[in-house]
Amino acid sequence: MGSGLLTVIILVILSTCYTPNGLSLTDFYLYGTEHGDNMMTVDSLPAAPLLAPIDNLVILGPAGITATIYQARSNGYLQIQNNADSIFLFLLFASGNFGETKVFGRTTNDPALIKRAMGQINEAFPNTFCSTSPPTQLIIATWIDYLKYHSNPGSNFQTVIVTNGHLTFGIFLYVDVHITAADTGIASLINGNYVESDPSIFPFNTTVTNAPSMMLNSNIPGTYILSLTDPPPDPPNCLAMCKAKLPEKTCKAIRNMV
């Protein structure tokens, strides 16, 4: 097959897989009150307990703090905390008119969503989660019509925190961004000391209008997958655990799945 024809085929395939910005709202993990989300317009969601505590979370873990609570904030960030100690995951932390901003959030252990998240993490970080050490909960926070006001059509983005209590990763999804300035990255408040966020964890840095068209640890524009475990652990030896627990034929089948 000629290289020119191959290039055309690849471009056609890509054009059918991605919108111009990479993602659409249908690519988000299921959100909405019909899926169990809490929802607020204008205001932040109330703080809520995690399904189970999270150890080794970035910044909190090295300080000996176990995360127990989360809160999706109307101004574009997810707060994960234990009492007064918190980390702040800034997706698009900005000020403005939040009159039409809708914030959704929930924790879930839905098997289908767990399987989807596990697959995305393993594509970015091979053999991180396997059938013997899967994620056990997701935190899903979604912002719809963020800062929509007058001529601004609003921005739409989502984060999915994927964890088994010891290994934690974040999936950050941006459909569209219609603001030009916002803080991004991870900030923290530990023992009364506030540390500002570092935007360099995202390749778009502070140029937030590029968020829907760039990517990190993914081949889908608008998708960013980050480890939120500190210190980063060695990935589990899924094959060794499989051999220890299952007969050879079953082990082979599972190895092909992970």
Q: Residue 255 above 80 pLDDT? A: no
Q: What are 152-182's pLDDT values in tens digits?
A: 999 999 999 999 999 999 999 999 999 999 9
What is the amino acid identity at position 118?
M
| Confidence category of residue 253, pLDDT binned at 50, 70, 90 | low
Assess whether pLDDT exceeds 60 at residue 250. no
Closest Cα to residue 146, out of 158, 138, 154?
154
Q: Which residues pair with 6 in a beta bridge?
A: none
Q: What is the CA radius of gyration of the chain?
A: 19
Q: Are 143 and 94 in contact (CB under 8 A)?
A: no
92-141 pLDDT, tens per residue?
999 999 999 999 999 999 999 999 999 999 999 999 998 888 999 999 99
Give the chain's mean pLDDT.
Answer: 87
Predicted confidence at residue 258, as pLDDT, reads: 53
What are the residue ranges of helices labelled H in the chain?
3-17, 111-124, 238-245, 248-257
Distances (CA, A) of 54 to 3, 61, 249: 50, 9, 35
pLDDT per position as a tens digit, 38-47: 999 999 999 9
**In the Cβ-directed half-sphere of 145, how many Cα atoms lie within 13 Å?**
13
The band of 19, judged by pLDDT with boundaries at 50, 70 and 90, is: very low
Q: How far is residue 79 from each of residues 5, 14, 32, 188, 245, measured CA to CA in Å? A: 49, 36, 20, 9, 38
Q: Are 194 and 134 in contact (CB under 8 A)?
A: no
Q: Are 112 and 201 in contact (CB under 8 A)?
A: no
